[in-house]
Amino acid sequence: MFATYLRRELVNRRKQTVIIAIGMALAIALVIIVNSVAAGVKDAQARVLGGVYGVGTDVTISKAATPPTAGGTPGQRFDFGSGAGATADGTTAVSTSRLEADRGTTTFDSSALGTVTGVDGVSKAAGVLALTNTTFDGKLPERREAGTDTATGGATAGSSAAAAPPAGGPDGSGGSSFNVDSFTVLGFDASADAVGPLSAVTLTQGRTLTAADAGTDVAVLDSTYASTASLTVGGTIDVGGTTFQIVGLVSSSSGDASTASNVYIPLDVAQTLSGQAGKLSSVYVQATSASDIASIKTALQAALPTNTISTQDDLAASVSGSLSTASSLVTNLGTWLSIIVLAAAFLIAILFTISGVTRRTREFGTLKAIGWSNRRITGQVAGESLVQGLIGGVAGIAIGLVGVLVVNIIAPTLSAGATSQASGRTGRLAEAAGATGPGGGPGSAGFGGSTQAMATTDVVLNAPVTVSVILITVGLAVAGGLLAGAIGGWRASRLRPAEALRAVA
């Protein structure tokens, strides 16, 4: 009886059913598309950060840079002793290499790693030391002192007023030539869990570093940097004036970013060569559960008050470009638009249901006169509205899936980047996004300062559809139908049999 009456009423009131279903379908489709695009934007941000902080890194611990002291010497400088270099034919060739902590960062005691691992909810933690290796290689002309004959060592007549011009040089005319080369170095403990940048690289050739490599001069290189610098497995590279054996090459596990460093070496070796014994520049943390991240951050801020504690959400805020614009658009406009359209669809369903009940006054009055209870009439109206909502929900899911498919076929490309000094935590973001300095390689720095780079990378937006989103939309369709049916049924149940008689008359 219920099903027969339900089918007859839906067929007889096709216009009302179609209007309610269309309104619900558009609202459901918009919810699916907005949620899928939002998930795609979030995945894109994770891919950008994945090459820097590693997949699954939930919290990053660093330390703000120490401001320069008054009267300090800005920029970089190289000091050479009087006996530095070798002189031949009036030209002095000098070469020196320096390994130091990234400019813009401050190292901190490695005991912080023990503090981190003791916090409840921390699953894994690893400390690293981010360094920059800068090499000065140049040829300088020999400069004569005023009034001195370089051949005899004696005074020359009439030469006391000015110094003699420099002699020699690479071009034989007293000129000079020098080159400054820079690359990034990351010291890490190979015996620790792979967290942070270490979890975002894959081995492409040779082998990775192991616990047995502690204290040895071996290195793993980023494959892109190795290709640029013409370095191969089995060869050597100079780091901080020490020759390292190249044992492997790695590449980023994300196609949208490079690895976090050009060269990877054992942590203890990096600390010794850079004069940063017992120091770290960052600690990467992985939480046991996503629900623990907030409490872990609070606990770490209390335990390490002088350090900077950043979560993935904090780091994602540093991503700029159209990716950031898309994120803001989806988060603000998309969410509110979905809410407004969904509310409008519910309102349309409620109004049309109440209108339909009003037009069926004689029908419901007659049914009550022949013995239908208020509960049965309410159930009948609610059942009709529920079916209308489900029809709209199914149509909305189909439209939403088609919309998501169109987005994935178009595959819009978003740009992501950050303007920062190419060093430290934000510098790693620049490197991962493809920043290049004056030296032409990732992280290259000019003489006298660190690299200022506008790091940009292109990320293809893919909108995923999850089962949870489908279930949510089905729930919304059911909720909309039940809400309209409940209000309309309540209105119908308040009718009296006498009203039907008056309507007939």
Question: 10 Å Cβ neighbour count for 355?
Answer: 12
Q: What is the pLDDT of residue 423?
A: 37
Per-residue model confidence (pLDDT) at position 175: 57
Nearest to 344 by CA among 333, 356, 336: 336
Q: What is residue 503's predicted lDDT score, i.e. its pLDDT?
A: 52
pLDDT digits (tens, 9 = 90+) for 336-381: 777 888 888 888 888 877 777 777 777 777 777 777 787 887 887 8
Nearest-angstrom CA–CA distance, 238 and 136: 12
19: region left, alpha or beta (phi > 0 left; psi from -120 to 50 alpha): alpha
pLDDT band at 402 (very low <50, low <70, confident <90, very high): very high
DSSP run (H or E) holding 184 = strand 177-188
pLDDT at 435: 40
Two tokens, residue 332? 């603000």
Dump pLDDT digits (tens) for 413-439: 766 654 333 334 334 433 433 443 333
Cβ 387 vs Cβ 472: under 8 Å: no
Which residues does 376 contact at the CB level (< 8 Å), separation at least 6?
none
Of 418 and 232, the structure prediction assigns the larger pLDDT to 232
Q: Is residue 70 scored above 90 in pLDDT?
A: no
pLDDT band of 236, cuts 50, 70, 90: very high
- Predicted pLDDT at 370: 78
d(CA 426, CA 314): 12
pLDDT band at 483 (very low <50, low <70, confident <90, very high): confident
Confidence tier at 231 by pLDDT (50, 70, 90): very high
> Directed axis angle between helix 424-432 and helix 14-53, to 10°?
120
Mean pLDDT of 156-166: 50
Distance between CA atoms of residues 213 and 210, nearest Å: 5
What are 182-219's pLDDT values in tens digits?
899 999 888 877 777 677 788 899 999 998 999 999 99
Tokens representing 90? 């009036």
* pLDDT surpasses 50 at 152: no
Percent of the chain having pLDDT more than 90? 18
pLDDT of residue 53: 56
Look at residue 149 and tell me whether its pLDDT is greater than 70.
Answer: no
Q: What average pLDDT does the chain have?
A: 74
Higher-confidence residue of 444 and 383: namely: 383
- Cα gap 242→236, rounded to integer Å: 10
Q: Average the pLDDT over 383-402 and give the result.
A: 87
Least confident of 63-67, 317-321, 349-353, 411-415: 317-321
Mean pLDDT value across residues 52-61 = 69
pLDDT of residue 244: 96
Task: Decide if 493 contacts 354 (C-beta within 8 A).
Answer: no
